[in-house]
Structure 1
């Protein structure tokens, strides 16, 4: 029996063995699930009934509970991209290799199970008690804390609680003091406006046993009155006005918001039966009062999320009918969030349930009888009868503690923080609604996004920042911690217990929107919000998991262009956006969208002198290594099949001229694609795969698209083509290549970039590659010229390889030993942005640069052909490091990597084989 163990699992197949403590359950055959795929399996025994999610990634299997830790919805309906699994509904995100929570909302990690491969069958092995768990908390049973350091967190909302939770689960062993002015355990605040009658115990983020187990010192009914920034001491007041204090080594400010009150200048602002919504206590008082038989007329002032969600609850969630009126200053509800068209549709939904709206109205007075509200008077002269007034007109910052302090504030009163959530005071961080931070996913500065997920995510980052101090910058445990705050905003709103809108991204201009779907009837739509020609946010209803898919598109810094979604051919549906995500994986030689290990290395160590080497350890040769005149194989282009089960290698030896397909695990030659009457092979130089596992082969005059067995599907070409080199996917749609001999005189200066539309085979764009001495001088003046070595004449130019990152195209000029960085904007407006390299052997110099790979951070990995090495440069061409390989690569040519970024495949031209390396540091 052949047995191979992993730590992941899932299946709906045979039950092999059950004991009192463990089950073995056959899920499926190995080949039933390809890399990048997942499937749910129901496990039904006499004592266990559960759903298990099996994921295959990088030829490994992982098995987890199939319920998201947030609201227990099935993860099998979610979005799987590289090492990230995102819930389809609310956007919680988990690491595939560990099951740990990667982004929020939600808390806790996925229960993880073991799998074995037994005679080509995937078998789940799990304890019954683990299969019954809904989440996994990483706290050992014998956990003990240390007296120092002390982290004090002021505020136990989403940001404060998440910071405490992630600190403890990721290895912090010092004291954690969590202070809250409320008298309850931390809870899910967003449910208060959606389901205010929900039982408090059902809203808790954790029960009391969690705080006991983790030894987090939760201090309820504790209001901080003073912070001594010099002595690092907090004074707080508890019940009975008893003053206490606690020292701290690290301080996290998470004081959040309070409801904005009616102005004291408004007559009637202090009458009875005026309610606000922020806390469990607020919800309890509101629910009890609303159910009173003497409450018939309810007026909501405001059109915020809280206002409209409570309107939905009042009109559809009560047993008794109430008269609900909404008074708002805007033309339609949520105008500044979703725009006028969607706001109008939301209003009609509430009106159909009996609510009445007073638009563009101001409240001039609230009149009462016996000190109880009776009428809301409007500036229009109308009087709206009321027995209860619910005020939801926004929130104010709870930042009084930081006024006149060393903490730097923005002009509009927010706490200013950097990418690590650090304030202007050492070891003081801020999270959640009170601060402004960089939103790197869109390269924005000083953003404040007041949503639950963003508060959780800032708390997570603050914990990672503190852990880096605590664990030390060089320990291995730091590697999984985020260096800088990086997330995609995502939130949701429920309007009438049935109608849900899910939103991902960020925009300040909700009117610049393209909407597809039905707003008036079924309320099934997709809204794309456009900024500078690109989609930067999406709102959708009934198109799951679209918002989560686009959140991942944004996270991986892929662009969706306005023209991609405004024409009929690019229908804004789930299917289209799935293609966008899939196609971002099409060209593994040029576009890496996962968290790449080279990017992690550069982020962690930068230009530090005492950094470890970035290593490559040989683990496989594809083809028989050979050299000298007896060599029968000269590999150039290299790629991976979409399922990452097959290595693709172009052989340009005069006696071969073919594309070889190798089994990725065994190195065995599976198949060879050779020329025939339909496909003329003279020098197949580049290869890639698409999401259908078709193979795209660049030949001298054509691009051939074939089935894996070599059957021709499509031929793409143009009568003016002379010599093609390189291939990449551009804008998730077009095929990009180089015509290196564009005119009859065959001067190198006339080489050009070509873009083909593979759906039609048409040439849609061509642009000369003109990087002459004049262009280089201009770049030098702009301080974006990073040429280190000798500059060779323009007449020696030989553009051969290329790579793409977003709208940036990098071209390796083998003849001049240079790499050009270019940018294509809008409707193919083309410009050169950087040039680097230059002939030589020193670091940053190169000699015949060839294959290129771009990692998730935009860093460039270049095969330096005649120097037999792989170098890494930043996106602007600054030299970073050279990979330390334990096996020589003789004349490296093409290069590609797996999606996880952990394995590099290098065509070794003079060794006659492709060498695969595991990358680590």
Structure 2
């Protein structure tokens, strides 16, 4: 009972807790808070629970007979990890697919930016749990170029690291552009100073000489490299009329501000019915007078999430999604174009770096190009996807770009590591978040859990009798559970997907 717990705790604390426990690598003074939190019998193997220690919430977990305690908030957007998916030592965030090692707190899958704080767990004589909570500086991890730089420092690389960008802003979270957030910088300038990472702004690469191992920039300067990561991303299609007044594309924070300013109180036409177009339209819904969304497909997201989800969105949202026929004229004050992009690789023309017919850079599982010491990642890369039987793919999403950077860094350090991540991304429309994991290209049928009418569902995409992708709305942490199965190579069969037994999804 509570009195017994308190009595035992006080007796134990007198004997044991006289010394401060330090976390390896801590650069700040430690603060020790010790509390009895539960009975050992309260936590079975493979289970986790939230406990209060001092004034903070800690996640207590038991995996393969070992007990651990870590921070309960994902370091990406602060999701409660207690509602996630625990598989062995790997804990998946319920919102965006970040994965952490529960024993060490280390990031194992992005988009989590930092490792989780770890705490010491002790078991008392009468099978009571105590946690020694320690405050310390988090280890760093972190899209592709920033992630690569941070992993290099984490792996104790002591040489010079330079990030070069044509932007006038430090590396920022591009997933927030369509929401026009004020603060989207991933790391403040102090961070780069602390870890001795140089960032050169407003500087664009014009050519790469792989024989001389040098890069020429638009200011006329030429800089040598020992190892090079190319992650220049993609840019909007260069279509006729792009430079006309009030024709806009969303590529930079400045674009986001211009779109916001131009669209308030205006009639807006958005061309594009996938992620960027639909998110911009959703953001403008209470700002513009009218919004028309035009797409080449019959329904929004049809080419990515399928007709079923596209139909649900077109029925529930107030956006008008239409197919423009020849001769149809729609009055508009502002035209926003979100119909795709092409690789920003023109500066590689004439180099020895191998590209495909669409000018994406070809890399292997180690993110290596055909040229020694030259790596590539992010939207620019076409790479073998393990879960798709090593089929070459190009996936322009944030989490995958971060994974590319990590793999490139490890291999730069001669730590041979293959890319094994499963794509995970999400989209937000009028406060509703659809989550997606896997690679659904070529799916032939689906299995649906829940209902579209209640806007609570899980869609499992099936190809050759196995699940290759999943999408959900208000069905957490189902997509994270699917991602966990895919990344560990455990097949989800068609029979399992169609079954009414959902225990494997670890639904809260």
* TM over 0.5, shorter chain: yes
Q: In the alignment, what sits opposite 2:355?
A: 409
1:540 and 2:472 aligned: yes
Q: Which has the larger radius of gyration?
A: 1
1:181 and 2:166 aligned: yes
CA distance in 1 between partners of 2:316 and 2:176 (Å): 20
| Aligned ranges 1:699-738 → 2 under 5 Å | none
Q: Contact (CA 8 Å) 2:352, 2:371: kept in 1 or not?
A: yes
1:158 and 2:143 aligned: yes
Q: In the alignment, what sits opposite 1:910?
A: none
- Secondary structure of the equivalent of 1:326? strand
1:356 and 2:320 aligned: yes
CA distance in 2 between partners of 1:423 and 1:277 (Å): 29
Q: How far apart are 1:29 and its partner, in Å?
A: 2.4
Q: Contact (CA 8 Å) 1:34, 1:56: kept in 2 or not?
A: yes
- Secondary structure of the equivalent of 1:393? coil
Q: In the alignment, what sits opposite 2:112?
A: 106
Moved more, 176-185 or 29-38: 29-38
- Secondary structure of the equivalent of 1:421? coil
Q: Contact (CA 8 Å) 1:339, 1:511: kept in 2 or not?
A: no
Q: In the alignment, what sits opposite 2:225?
A: 248
Q: In the alignment, what sits opposite 1:605?
A: none
Q: Contact (CA 8 Å) 1:38, 1:56: kept in 2 or not?
A: yes
Relative distance call for 1:221 and 1:395 in structure 2 (3 A) is same
CA distance in 2 between partners of 1:106 and 1:116 (Å): 28
More helix by share: 2
Equivalent of residue 78 in structure 1, options 76, 80, 84 = 84
1:43 and 2:53 aligned: yes
Q: In the alignment, what sits opposite 2:6?
A: none
Relative distance call for 1:306 and 1:32 in structure 2 (3 A) is same
Q: How far apart are 1:159 and its partner, in Å?
A: 1.1
Q: Contact (CA 8 Å) 2:74, 2:93: kept in 1 or not?
A: yes
| Aligned ranges 1:255-266 → 2 under 5 Å | 255-261=232-238, 263-264=239-240
Q: Contact (CA 8 Å) 1:333, 1:343: kept in 2 or not?
A: yes
Equivalent of residue 506 in structure 2, options 578, 584, 605 = 578
CA distance in 1 between partners of 2:341 and 2:395 (Å): 13
Structure 1 residue runs without a partner (length 5+):
10-18, 140-156, 362-377, 469-477, 580-921
Q: How far apart are 1:343 and its partner, in Å?
A: 1.0
Relative distance call for 1:55 and 1:20 in structure 2 (3 A) is closer
Q: Contact (CA 8 Å) 1:8, 1:55: kept in 2 or not?
A: no
CA distance in 1 between partners of 2:375 and 2:243 (Å): 37
CA distance in 2 between partners of 1:168 and 1:207 (Å): 17
| Aligned ranges 1:287-326 → 2 under 5 Å | 287-291=260-264, 295-315=265-285, 318=286, 320=287, 322-326=289-293
Give the total of aligned pairs.
Answer: 487
Equivalent of residue 125 in structure 1, options 132, 135, 155 = 132
Scaled by the length of structure 1, the TM-score of the pair is 0.51
CA distance in 1 between partners of 2:130 and 2:369 (Å): 50
Q: In the alignment, what sits opposite 2:302?
A: 335
1:399 and 2:401 aligned: no
- Secondary structure of the equivalent of 1:514? strand
Relative distance call for 1:452 and 1:572 in structure 2 (3 A) is farther
| Aligned ranges 1:226-245 → 2 under 5 Å | 226-237=207-218, 242-245=219-222
Equivalent of residue 427 in structure 2, options 472, 475, 493 = 493
CA distance in 1 between partners of 2:478 and 2:309 (Å): 18
Q: How far apart are 1:21 and its partner, in Å?
A: 3.6
Q: How far apart are 1:321 and its partner, in Å?
A: 5.2
Of structures 1 and 2, the one with the larger relative CO (CA 8 A, separation 6+) is 2
Q: How far apart are 1:58 and its partner, in Å?
A: 3.1
In the TM superposition, what whole-angstrom CA distance separates every residue of 1:304-357 from its partner, at most 9, and x where no partner exists? 200011111111xx3x4520001111111111101112111112222xx3x222
Q: Contact (CA 8 Å) 1:421, 1:462: kept in 2 or not?
A: yes
Q: How far apart are 1:20 and its partner, in Å?
A: 9.8
Q: Contact (CA 8 Å) 2:208, 2:351: kept in 1 or not?
A: no
Relative distance call for 1:328 and 1:138 in structure 2 (3 A) is closer
Scaled by the length of structure 2, the TM-score of the pair is 0.90
Q: In the alignment, what sits opposite 1:563?
A: 495
CA distance in 1 between partners of 2:288 and 2:476 (Å): 32
Q: In the alignment, what sits opposite 2:387?
A: 441
1:276 and 2:249 aligned: yes
Q: Contact (CA 8 Å) 2:22, 2:30: kept in 1 or not?
A: no
Q: How far apart are 1:572 and its partner, in Å?
A: 6.9
In the TM superposition, what whole-angstrom CA distance separates every residue of 1:43-79 from its partner, at most 9, and x where no partner exists? 35xxxx3211111223322111111000011111111
Equivalent of residue 96 in structure 1, options 102, 115, 136 = 102
In the TM superposition, what whole-angstrom CA distance separates every residue of 1:604-641 from its partner, at most 9, and x where no partner exists? xxxxxxxxxxxxxxxxxxxxxxxxxxxxxxxxxxxxxx
CA distance in 2 between partners of 1:226 and 1:247 (Å): 12
| Aligned ranges 1:428-577 → 2 under 5 Å | 428-468=374-414, 483-496=417-430, 498-510=431-443, 512-519=445-452, 521-566=453-498, 570-571=499-500, 573=502, 575-577=503-505
Q: How far apart are 1:169 and its partner, in Å?
A: 1.7
Q: Contact (CA 8 Å) 1:8, 1:64: kept in 2 or not?
A: no
In the TM superposition, what whole-angstrom CA distance separates every residue of 1:566-600 from its partner, at most 9, and x where no partner exists? 3xxx1274x34339xxxxxxxxxxxxxxxxxxxxx
CA distance in 1 between partners of 2:257 and 2:345 (Å): 27
- Secondary structure of the equivalent of 1:27? strand
Q: Contact (CA 8 Å) 2:229, 2:375: kept in 1 or not?
A: yes
CA distance in 2 between partners of 1:311 and 1:349 (Å): 14
Q: How far apart are 1:138 and its partner, in Å?
A: 4.7
Relative distance call for 1:271 and 1:408 in structure 2 (3 A) is closer
| Aligned ranges 1:809-820 → 2 under 5 Å | none
Relative distance call for 1:38 and 1:234 in structure 2 (3 A) is same
Equivalent of residue 420 in structure 1, options 366, 382, 389 = 366
More strand by share: 1
CA distance in 1 between partners of 2:406 and 2:462 (Å): 29
Relative distance call for 1:110 and 1:8 in structure 2 (3 A) is farther
Q: In the alignment, what sits opposite 1:850?
A: none
In the TM superposition, what whole-angstrom CA distance separates every residue of 1:372-403 from its partner, at most 9, and x where no partner exists? xxxxxx51x22211111111010110011222
Q: Contact (CA 8 Å) 1:535, 1:559: kept in 2 or not?
A: yes
